Structure 1
Amino acid sequence: MNKVKLLNISIDNISQAEFFEKCKSGVVFTPNVDHLMKLQSDPEFVNTYKDATYKLCDSKILFFISRFLGTPIKEKISGSDLFPAFYQYHKDNEDIKIFLLGARVGVALKAQEKINAQVGRTMIVGAHSPSFGFEKNEEECAKIIELINQSGATVLAVGVGAPKQENFISKYKDQFTNIKIFLAIGATIDFEAGNIKRAPKWISEIGMEWLYRLLAEPKRLWKRYLVHGPSFFWLILKQKLNFYVDPFNSDYSEPYKGVTREEMG
């Protein structure tokens, strides 16, 4: 697939329709500005991202940035848009059975009920809200894996925030016996349950969903948008001017020139 380089990752330049046609298995991440900033300082997250089969543009800001860099991305495919489109696309596909992992107690179950009512069948075969810090508890993780394996699910949608959800998928993906597709979907379970309202579509389309979410959850999101945001645009300017250096590409001292690590040898 054609890919677009943004800082130290390559995003798949693919439309949502093309993705649905191609994706029969694999790990799906949806990078946004927050992910890209974490990828500048978190080596575990960088290694996790290498496991992704698909990296889809989650952000209208990244969509606009790709044009600024001269390598336009076809379409924004945010996790919160992708997931409902995914289950509607597969509503008559009996092989698609989804397990929801994430959100607060009761929220995932509410999302399960709503989605199953929409598609007219038991597509969501299980839902679980893990404890805070579950990813550090091997015993709890083992119980979660067993629960998912017993559910018969073929798709695992994890919504516990980045980088926790991506790291969990990367670490345990080989222990799931039936799962073919792994989706990291952020706050989407809350949206599906009606627990959190999404920004109106027109706000999302002009690249201002971040402001809507900041105003809705200022204590949780102020650092992400008000601290990391300006730093991100500075890094993008450096990439535009060919002075961005991948912080984890320590074998190369030359400034980033728009080529992949493989191309650099």
Structure 2
Amino acid sequence: MIEVPSRTVSKEEVGRLYKRFRRVVLASSANHLTKYQTGELNQEVRALIHRETQQLYRQLRTVAFASSLSNVKQIQLPVRGGTNAGLYRKDPRKLHQEFRQAVLISSANILRQKAAASLQESVRETVKILNVEIDNLSKQEFLSKLSRGVVFTPNVDHLMKLQHDPAFMAAYQQADYRVCDSQVLMYASKFLGKPIKAKISGSDLFPMFCEHHKDNESTKIFLLGGAEGIAKQAQRRINDRIGRNIIVAAHSPSFGFEKNQQECQFIIDLINRSPANVLVVGVGAPKQEIWISRYRSLLPKINIFLAVGAAIDFEAGNKPRAPKVMSDLGIEWLYRLLTEPKRLWKRYLIDDLPFIALVLKQKLRNWRSSDLGG
């Protein structure tokens, strides 16, 4: 037994609290560290660890003992190695120091892992088209790598918007993966001398991702997008096709929801209350990318964010997809223009036309750089 001024604490309670404190401190440290990029750690993280440890230490003192640990000379803790191993005595201050040391060691291990991941990331092959670095991965390579992060799917329209939209560009710079959504970009990359391996459009990526995780019960998806009822319809169709409830929740936001803070908070609460660890957003660019970038920090359970454009409408059967032959030839844009002329004529016939001239300029710059280097 441990006698303190206000109450008596049993050795079993101390043992439970000791284990819980150690687990909470280490888990809290690890969870906070994963929010940082490798280049932003060092002193800031050490300060964070110190604050977390101090806070939890104070909580333990208050909740466990209802008294200051300074009034306790020694506490008894269970000895590892079996139920009959007995107890050992520990000075509270030493115990606190050991916890801090354990946190720092755990953090160092996490840092090493992140540094190794960062090194692998730094040698990742990309193809630069205009001002965007596109990951040069096959479909299988991408699916095998994707365990967490934000995924955007650049196409010609994205690249043109990125020439003059700083908010869109800021969101793009925070993405962990940018995979090619356009056969036209495939042609452009070949023209620029560094062909992209595969087209992974949002409308292909989403069903491909669901199929890849068909038997992975831990993958749970929240759908956000489409007009009223469309996301729920897509949820039913996908779950029927996959053979399990891989889509655990779905919501179709109102038009202009991104400008309504109350609705955004409502959506965040919906996602956080769900068991989902993957968020699929299909509300169009640049709205979906900016929304993900703005609110991802408020969605701690979400490991993977996919921005997929019209994929939710396609999965619901609300809109028809272009025939595969048109997609393979790079003229899916023509099919979409013919099916939705009022909405898309300006995008394809005016906004995106300068793309060819910009790629020619990039090619010319590359030639000049090559000549100067030679």
Q: TM-score, normalised by structure 2?
A: 0.65
Distance, in Å, in 2 between the alignment partners of 1:229 and 1:124 is 34
Residue 137 of structure 1 corresponds to which residue in structure 2?
A: 260
Tell me how far apart the structure 2 counterparts of residues 13 and 92 of structure 1 sit (CA, whole Å): 27
Question: Which runs of structure 2 are paired with 1:160-239 in the superposition (5 Å)?
Answer: 160-239=283-362
For residues 93 and 166 of structure 1, the distance between their equivalents in structure 2, rounded to whole angstroms, comes to: 27
Structure 2 distance, partners of 1:216, 1:158, is 23
Aligned-residue CA RMSD (Å) = 1.4
Question: What is the letter of the counterpart of residue 207 of structure 2?
Answer: P
Residues 182-229 of structure 1: per-residue CA shift (max 9 Å, x gap): 000000000000000001111100001000000000011111110123
Alignment of 1:46 with 2:151, yes or no, is: no
* Counterpart secondary structure, 1:126: strand
Q: 1: distance between equivalents of 2:351 and 2:329?
A: 20
User: Which residue of structure 1 lines up, in the alignment, with residue 155 of structure 2?
Assistant: 32
- Cα distance in 2 for partners of 1:82, 1:66 equals 20
Corresponding residue number in structure 2 for 1:151: 274
Aligned to 2:236: 113
- Alignment-derived partner of residue 93 in structure 1: 216
- The higher-RCO structure (CA 8 Å, 6+ apart) is 1
Please identify the structure whose Cα radius of gyration is greater. Answer: 2
Report whether the alignment pairs 1:69 with 2:192: yes
Residues 23-54 of structure 1: CA distance to partner in whole angstroms, max 9, x if unpaired?
A: 10000000000000000000111111011100
Superposed CA offset, 1:127-162 (max 9, x none): 101011111111110110000111110000000000
Matched, 1:127 2:234: no
User: What one-letter code is carried by the residue in structure 2 that aligns with 1:84?
Assistant: P
For 1:23, give the aligned amino acid. Answer: L
CA distance in 1, matches of 2:149, 2:191: 30
Equivalent in the alignment of 2:20:
none
AA aligned opposite 1:68: F
Residue deviations 1:235-260 (CA, integer Å, cap 9, x gap): 111111118xxxxxxxxxxx9x59xx
1:81 aligns with 2:225: no
Q: CA deviation at 1:95?
A: 1.2
Partner deviation per Cα, 1:64-83 (whole Å, 9 max, x = no partner): 11001111000111010011
TM-score (normalised: structure 1): 0.91
Q: Which amino acid aligns with 1:17?
A: Q
Instruction: State the alpha-carbon separation in 1 of the partners of residues 357 and 255 from structure 2.
Output: 34
Q: How many residues align?
A: 247
Give unmatched runs, 5+ long, in structure 1: 244-254, 259-265
- Which contiguous aligned blocks of 4+ residues in structure 1 show a shift greater than 4 angstroms? none
Other structure's SS at 1:241 match: helix
Match of 2:167, SS state, is helix
Q: Secondary structure at the match of 1:242?
A: helix
Q: Which residue of 1 aligns with 2:47?
A: none
Q: Residue 135 of structure 2 corresponds to which residue in structure 1?
A: 12
1:2 has 2:125 as partner? yes
Equivalence for 2:146? 23
Residues 59-110 of structure 1, C-alpha deviation per residue, up to 9 Å, x if partnerless? Answer: 0000011001111000111010011000000011011100000000011100
Task: Report % sequence identity.
Answer: 62
Find the counterpart in structure 2 of residue 56 from structure 1.
179
State the shift of 1:230 in Å: 1.9
Partners of 2:289 and 2:168 in 1: CA distance:
8
Q: Where is the helix percentage greater, Structure 1 or Structure 2?
A: 2
